[in-house]
Structure 1
C-alpha cells in the first residue's frame, strides 16, 4: 500500500469535504474577485476611456459611445449599417441567418432597393456593409464607400457643398489597424456629431 492510499484511508469524509470546499473558496476568490479587481484597476489606470465605455460627451451630456452604433434616419445624418440587435448593446448579436436563407435574402433585397432610391445610386454602387448587419449587430463604423454614397443626400439636407462633406469624411476616416488589419472606416456617430458641430 503506497503513501497516497494511506493518507486517503486515514482522512475522514468530513476532512476531504472541508478540503474540497476550501479549495473551491480559494479558487473563487482568486479568479472571481482578485483577478477581476486587478484587471479592472489596470484598465482604469492605463486605458480609462476605453474601460468606461469610450463615451462621447457633448455640452456636458453623454450622447453615445464610440463603440456602439446608433440608428440615424434623418436625411441630414449619415446612416449606420443595419443591426440585427436593434442597436441594443445588451442584446448584441448577428442575424444568425445563413447566406442562403430566404428571409435574409429578402431583407437584403429590401435594403438594396431602399438605399438605391434614397441615395439615387445604382445597385452596383451599394457596398455590402450597408445592407448586412455586423457580427455584433452594433458595429459603429461603415466603410468609406458607404459614407461616400450618402454625401449628396447629407449635403443637400444641410445646405452644404458636397466637397465640404467629403472633406469631413476624409478627416474622420480611420486607417486599417496597424496599416494591415481591416479596412479604412468611418465612425458614424463621430461623423454626425462633427456635422452638427460645424453648423452650431
Structure 2
C-alpha cells in the first residue's frame, strides 16, 4: 500500500511540474516568439489596441458604445423588446445627430464583449463631418487617414475591412501635432 501511495504522489508531482510549470512556460515562450505584440497585451503608451478605449469630445473618432463600467464586460442581456435598450439606443442616436453625424447601427449598439476596439470603415467615414468641424482637417485628408488605417478582411476573404479606433486616433493626433 505504501508503494502505491508513493507512486501516486510521484505521479501527481510529475504532472504538476509538467502541466503546471513546463507546459505554460513553453506556451508563453512560443507566444512571445511568434506573436510578440499580442503576447504582451498589444499595449501602447495610450492603451491596448485589443480593448476598446472610451473617447470623449468631438475631435476624436468614437468606437462602439459600452456600459461605461470599467469592471464588467459582456452583453447586457437586454432583448429587442426592452424599453431600457430602446431608450439607450434613442439617446445614442440623439447624441450622434447633435454632433452632425448620421450614425450607423454599429455606433448605437454595443458589441457582445462591450470592449470591441474596432469599427467598420463606414462607421469611421460617417464621423468625418464631426471631426472636420472640430479639427479643421479637410474631409479628403480624413478619408485618406481612414483608408490608411483600414485593415482588410481576415486572410483576404473573411468579414469586412475594419479600423482600430485607437490606431486611427493616434494617427489623427499625429496630423494635429499632438
TM-score of the aligned structures, taking structure 2 as reference length: 0.89
Give the conservation status (yes or no) of the 8 Å contact 1:85–1:91.
Answer: no
Describe the superposition over 1:146-191 as per-residue Cα deviations: whole angstroms up to 9, x where unpaired. Answer: 1111101101111111111111111111111012222211111111
Give the conservation status (yes or no) of the 8 Å contact 1:69–1:139.
Answer: yes
Q: 2:141 aligned with 1:164, yes or no?
A: yes
Counterpart residue number, 2:80: 99
For residue 15 of structure 2, the aligned residue among 7, 24, 27 is: 27
Q: 2: CA distance between counterparts of 1:165 and 1:52?
A: 31
Stretch moving more, 45-54 or 14-23? 14-23
Larger radius of gyration between Structure 1 and Structure 2: 1
The structure with higher relative contact order (CA 8 Å, sep 6+) is 2
Give the conservation status (yes or no) of the 8 Å contact 1:85–1:137.
Answer: no
Give the conservation status (yes or no) of the 8 Å contact 2:107–2:123.
Answer: yes
CA RMSD, 1 decimal: 1.9
Q: 2: CA distance between counterparts of 1:28 and 1:131?
A: 48
Give the conservation status (yes or no) of the 8 Å contact 2:58–2:131.
Answer: yes
Q: How many residues align?
A: 177
Q: 2: CA distance between counterparts of 1:143 and 1:191?
A: 12
Counterpart residue number, 2:59: 76
Counterpart residue number, 1:119: 100
Give the conservation status (yes or no) of the 8 Å contact 2:79–2:85.
Answer: yes
SS of alignment partner, residue 113 of structure 1: helix
Q: 2:41 aligned with 1:53, yes or no?
A: yes
Counterpart residue number, 1:139: 116
TM-score of the aligned structures, taking structure 1 as reference length: 0.80
For residue 179 of structure 1, the aligned residue among 126, 133, 156 is: 156
Counterpart residue number, 1:9: none
Q: 2:170 aligned with 1:193, yes or no?
A: yes
For residue 43 of structure 1, the aligned residue among 31, 43, 46 is: 31
